[in-house]
Amino acid sequence: MGIIDTISIAMIVTSLAVFGLRGLKLSVFVYAIQTLLLVSMFFVLSSKFDAHELRNWAYVAFFTKVLFVPSILLFVIKKLNVVSEDEPVGGFFVSPVVAMGFSLAIAMSIHGVFLEFSLIKEKIALIASATIFMMGIFGFILRNSFIKQILSYCLFENGIHLSLGLMAFNSHELVELGILTDALFAVIIMSVLAVRFYKIYDSLDTSKATNLRG
């Protein structure tokens, strides 16, 4: 097993940890580790396939997604003084198993299409990108914590970032800039909404929002 496959599997494992861990701070730290793995993946791919664009992607991703995004989330967690999430849909054990099972199944079923059109034909890495993306989608569906839902967004954004690096690393720099800018602003906006939500409901459990308030 090569280093690319090893990093890919590690990213899948960390996506499960981000999804399944109850502690919010620990989940944020694991997300930072996953993004650091993504940065490492870009450096390895850049070296192996002479894709110098990915080296630039790695530098930008390190400062924005390894340092900046986790800092925002940790600030919100500290400000609200929350430690762990409320019990999600399906419970703490069942929901991660369901999410990972379906995510892997979907990734395995569609990776052949990705492989056909990918500039860098790394099978395990493509499966990882689709799996991480789907874990983010299932996070929105199955986790109730506002912080967990922000992390779910970050997960599927990492999945998109990895798939783009594999399939279209030679795309214009504006594409990369657009992805990172969207991610940063989305996290900032969702963090502000999380604080406002907590002030209204005294909780980050989104299932309690049974009515809309102005």
Taking only the tens place, the pLDDT of each residue in 91-117 is 667 789 899 999 999 999 998 888 888
Q: Is the pLDDT of residue 81 over 70?
A: yes
**Mean of pLDDT values over 68-72:** 95
Which of the two residues, 38 and 207, has the higher pLDDT score? 38
- Assess whether pLDDT exceeds 70 at residue 173: no
Mean pLDDT of the chain: 89
Residue 112's pLDDT is what? 86
The percent of residues above 70 in pLDDT, for the chain, comes to 91
**What is the per-residue pLDDT across 112-139, written as a single tens digit (0 to 9) for each?**
888 888 889 999 999 999 999 999 999 9
What's the pLDDT at 159? Answer: 95
More confident residue, 113 or 151: 151
- DSSP string covering the chain: --HHHHHHHHHHHHHHHHHH-SBHHHHHHHHHHHHHHHHHHHHHHHHHHT-HHHHHHHHHHIIIIIIIHHHHHHHHHHHHT--BPPP-TTHHHHHHHHHHHHHHHHHHHHHHHHHHH-SS--HHHHHHHHHHHHHHHHHHHH--BHHHHHHHHHHHHHHHHHHHHHH-TTS-HHHHHHHHHHHHHHHHHHHHHHHHHHHHHSS-BGGG--S---
Task: Return the higher-pLDDT residue of 90 and 29.
Answer: 29
pTM for the full predicted model = 0.91
Mean pLDDT for the stretch of residues 137-146? 90
Provide the pLDDT for residue 175. Answer: 67
Give me the pLDDT at residue 206, please. Answer: 84
Q: What percent of the chain has pLDDT over 90?
A: 57
Name the least confident of 13-22, 184-193, 205-214. Answer: 205-214
Does the pLDDT value for residue 153 go beyond 90? yes
- pLDDT for the residue numbered 101: 94
Q: Each residue of 51-69: pLDDT tens digit? A: 888 998 898 889 989 999 9
